[in-house]
Amino acid sequence: MKIQLKDSLYTLVRGKVLRTRQLTELEKLFEIALPEGQSLDHEPGQFVQVSIFGVGEAPISICSSPTKRDSFELAIRKVGRLTRALHELEPGDEVGIRGPYGKGFPVTLMEGNDIMIVGGGIGIVPLRSLINYIIDNRRDFGKVDILLGCKTPKDMLFGDEVETWQKRVDVNFSCTVDRADPDWKGNIGLITSLIPGVNLDPNRTFAAVVGPPVMYKYVIQELRKKQIPDRQILVSLERHMKCGLGKCGHCQIEHFYCCQDGPVFSFDQIKDLEGAI
């Protein structure tokens, strides 16, 4: 009998690398297919455990939309032994896949509402899954605002897709960089500088926020100034995850385990937890 990922949290299957694409000096995109008859069936914001046999395993956010059924994509930053080994993989090579794990963005709850997406730096990786899901199901959502920020223009991931989002008439798109180059024609400044200019109805707006930890406090302050309810501010707390099963304790914040109870939380759930934001 063929083992299915959904059979157990501990089930590992061999995924095959279909394609790779260098995004920046440090980030590389991998398209992976599972064995015939299997699909990932993930939610935007979930992650998988990725392993190379004999090297190690790590949690990696899924960056493709669930509407992409035959394969899925991971954008991996080269930062250590395992990720360096992953960057050396070629099409046809195999990796171990467990998951998907955690709670993603509650897209069913978000349907029928306006969506505001705020992404900083590598936070665009899990947000890409949500953005493309919303675009693929555009009629199910109201007004969509996408706000992205990064250090420099060359650090922007998925540049071709970002240009496509920018050109869509059914999406309001803004981008900013901390430091511009001579060719940059856009906004310069922190991502918080983009929020005051967004026109929104707070009672029907869900805000999805992903980025470096230092960003969250100030972005949330701006969103609350817009009177978006805390329960409708959604954040991803991916940091410190390791086993994906709530066993090792690396991702514990008081009574929550990010890998099981999150990584996506509403701000209402975590605003009183020390060290969450």
Same domain, 94 and 124: no
Same domain, 83 and 41: yes
Q: What is the mean pLDDT of residues 240-249?
A: 84
Position 4 confidence tier, pLDDT thresholds 50, 70, 90: low
Q: Which domain holds residue 264?
A: 107-270
Picking from 49, 68, 101, the residue at the C-terminal end of a domain is: 101
Picking from 79, 101, 123, the residue at the C-terminal end of a domain is: 101
CATH of residue 25: 2.40.30.10
The tens digit of pLDDT for each residue in 206-244 reads 999 999 989 999 999 999 999 999 999 999 998 778 888
In a domain, 276, yes or no: no
Q: Are 119 and 147 in contact (CB under 8 A)?
A: yes
The tens digit of pLDDT for each residue in 12-54 reads 999 999 999 999 989 999 999 999 888 888 999 999 999 998 9
pTM: 0.94
Number of structural domains the chain divides into? 2
Measured CA to CA, the distance from residue 257 to residue 77 in angstroms comes to 23
Same domain, 64 and 179: no
Same domain, 232 and 158: yes
In the chain, the N- to C-terminal Cα span, in Å, equals: 45
The tens digit of pLDDT for each residue in 40-96 reads 889 999 999 999 989 999 999 999 999 988 899 999 999 999 999 999 999 999 999
Same domain, 230 and 152: yes
